[in-house]
Amino acid sequence: MLFSGNSIAVCAFLAWGLLPLYFQFIPSANVLELLSIRILFSIPCIYLLLKAKSLPMAKIWAAMRNRRVLLICFLAGIFNLTSLYSFTWAVTNGQVLAASLGYFMNPIFSIALGVLFLKDKLSTLQSVAVALSIAGIGLQVLYYGELPWLSIIMGGTFALYGLMKKFVDLDALSIMMIELILMLPFALCLIMSDLWHQTSVLYSDDNSKILLYLLSAPVTLIPLVLFSLAVEKISLIMIGFIQYIEPSIQFLLAVMIFGEVLLPVKVASFSLIWLGLLLCIADIVFKKRMSPTTSRL
């Protein structure tokens, strides 16, 4: 196989990490309209990918006659939209650090869900990494005296989105197409409402803004497709640790490009989380070096 599950996941989170650079051009965006346009234009994109992989739509229509599949895909779509709404609002309203924290927290949620529902096992280094991550987040909670709800919602719902995909016996693209079809009525209602009340971006005289809204579909869809493909191949624990790439990039963007204030408590918090990531990477390298020997036994 050309790409491993780990390398696909790395590409997905690299792309996600750089998304704030795109959204800085549409500050204070109408997030609901942005997401509705994304759903509308993502359907033909996924359809073309299905055609390219010779995956028949008939298989999708057949799967949609299964109530269990419909329910799981509907929940997955809701979780994904909730996470995307939180993320998009954060990065278009000067809260890139909050988005970064949300996705630093997401791996912990993913790991917990993997252990609780999928019987995944933690290695010793992974257990230490989880403990360090929890300690890093706990520092911020103690300092601010309240839970970072935006970050919790963002990270928690995306972890649930990844978990839902583990319970549907379909390829990643087919699941995504079902999700989009189920979310389409909501998107169309929102778009029609904005058009009716003349609040849609389509009434804007700024053609570049309209183009940015339209291009948000493929820009956000590419990493999501890669993520869905990765979930098919590797455990939620591995997904959780690799995902640290994304918030690390967003953290650097927030401080170095967007000029957000970096307090000492955040430096300590993120340092503990990054140390956990380094332990995870060490664990992956160790297992890769051991696997050829193990396979010869």
User: Which of the two residues, 175 and 229, has the higher pLDDT score?
Assistant: 175
Q: Which of 91-105, 157-171, 173-187 has the lowest mean pLDDT?
A: 91-105
Alpha-carbon distance 223 to 87, whole Å? 14
The one-letter amino acid at 7: S
DSSP class of residue 202 equals G
Torsional class of 26: left (φ above 0), alpha (ψ -120 to 50), beta (otherwise): beta
Burial class (CB in 10 A: 0-12, 13-18, 19+), 53: exposed
pLDDT for the residue 297: 34
Provide the token pair at 48.
């073309």
- pLDDT category at 45 given cuts 50, 70, 90 is confident
Q: How confident is the model over 156-170, as a mean pLDDT?
A: 87
pLDDT for the residue 294: 44
pTM above 0.95, yes or no: no
Of the ranges 153-157, 236-240, 278-282, the best mean pLDDT one: 153-157
* Boundaries of every domain in the chain: 5-296
Q: Is the dihedral of CA 17, 23, 29, 35 positive or negative?
A: negative
Q: What confidence tens digit (pLDDT) does each residue in 128-158 have?
A: 888 887 888 788 778 877 777 888 898 899 8
Alpha-carbon distance 134 to 91, whole Å? 24
Q: What confidence tens digit (pLDDT) does each residue in 62-90 have?
A: 999 999 999 999 999 999 999 989 988 98
Alpha-carbon distance 83 to 80, whole Å? 5
Q: How far is CA 260 from CA 22, 81, 135, 253, in A?
A: 17, 26, 23, 9
